[in-house]
Chains A and B, each alone.
Chain A
């Protein structure tokens, strides 16, 4: 039976698992290239969620009402959560999240090109929810069936939350469209600026996407870039009509033969430019992330020092019985009574609650 341990068998088991549409789990044997590709894919996705907090985060203090502020806070907090679920998945492959953050800050790993555009008005917040989160949903729903288990599970969690993101954005835009002429112009202007970059979120055309075949074989990609892009266009056109805005593409029209919308040529040189670091906001996004990392360093150090001191003093909070056996829950809840209670209290109080309430009603 020990011959089962050798690599050739590992590869056979790996391939058979994928062919049976089952999931690869962290401790399974996997080809180095698969591990590397997964780490890169998950890290890039995690970075996108974290950098993606900035364009909308910029509007939290300027949201036009308490309701919109609460919603935006909850949405941006979700994006932070998405980033953390994904770093958690990357760590199951042997990556280290501190190292991944360094790679992001040093420009050695990428994030989605879309977050390198500025948010000029509050209508941008609505358009990001509608189009950018909408495109993200198109990309992410098939990834819930990724062959890598921890990634697929993170995607399921993320997709559940994305629906609130898209709906709050669309509702925001509907509200503005019912407003003044000036508000309607703001919405149209934001649509004009975000439509094409949203289409670029699906990546280069299939003809220039050399890794697609391998990724499809490994089932870490389920549809090609162009398939997903088409799906997004087909979904968005009727939504734009219902909203009363015009998508900025004179070639956009229904093709009865293909049973899809035809659309104009994407400016691929723009995508290349933005990906290679030369978009309108690349430098600022990274500088901001670097600043947050540096300015938070003392907090992380202080917390680590405090934890070390408590361990030395035999502090109660770290006592091992907290996590042992059937009594663990009661112990933990008794000991951390404060924690457990404030957790419940915060969830049901104030800002976060109103956002949650609306989501449930939606």
Chain B
């Protein structure tokens, strides 16, 4: 039993919704024994002054991220598709509201 006790609590990433209508935004991390404690700690640590109306906590281990080294392979394909942007299309100035 005691062998299961881990001295270091796992790391959680914290996301806070500043107010209704906005996305949750990553604000930092914290250590907690479980999700419930992580929510408590996140409230104490990241919302002491009405910074949020809702909190998500996610085990850091569960976050899958794109690596900076994959930058070209991962994001380059969108770079050469200029026709996805409205400015690609020439419309005379005389045409209103477009």
Q: What residues make up the interface of A, taking CB atoms closer than 8 Å to B?
A: 1, 4-5, 25, 27-29, 74, 77-78, 81, 84-85, 88-89, 91-92, 96-98, 150, 153-154, 157, 161, 297, 300-301, 303-308, 310-311, 317-318, 322-323, 328-329, 332-333, 336, 339-340, 343, 347, 352, 356, 359
Contact = CB atoms under 8 A, between A and B. Distances in A.
B11 interface: yes
A322 B8 contact: no
A323 B24 CA distance: 12
A311 B10 CA distance: 14
A95 B37 CA distance: 22
A300 B69 contact: no
B62 A323 contact: yes
A339 B36 contact: yes
B50 to A, nearest CB: 7
Interface residues of B, number: 43
B29 A347 contact: no
A359 B7 CA distance: 38
Interface in B8-42: 8-9, 11, 17, 24, 27-31, 33-37, 39-40
B49 interface: yes
B57 A323 contact: yes
Main secondary structure of the interface of A (DSSP, over half): helix
Contacts of B31: 97
Nearest to B54: A329
Contacts of A96: 8
Contact of B34 (A310, A328, A347): A310
B7 A81 contact: no
Contacts of B36: 317-318, 336, 339
Nearest to A312: B4
A154 B27 CA distance: 9
Contact of A318 (B7, B28, B34): B34
B39 A78 contact: no
Contacts of B68: 25, 27-29
Contacts of A318: 34-36
Given A84-B30, A336-B36, A339-B40, A301 B54 contact: no
Nearest to A153: B28
Nearest to A5: B69
A220 to B, nearest CB: 19
B73 interface: yes
A27 B29 contact: no
A310 to B, nearest CB: 7
A336 B44 CA distance: 15
A347 B47 contact: yes
Interface in B58-98: 58-59, 62, 65, 67-69, 72-73
B7 A300 contact: yes
B45 A81 contact: yes
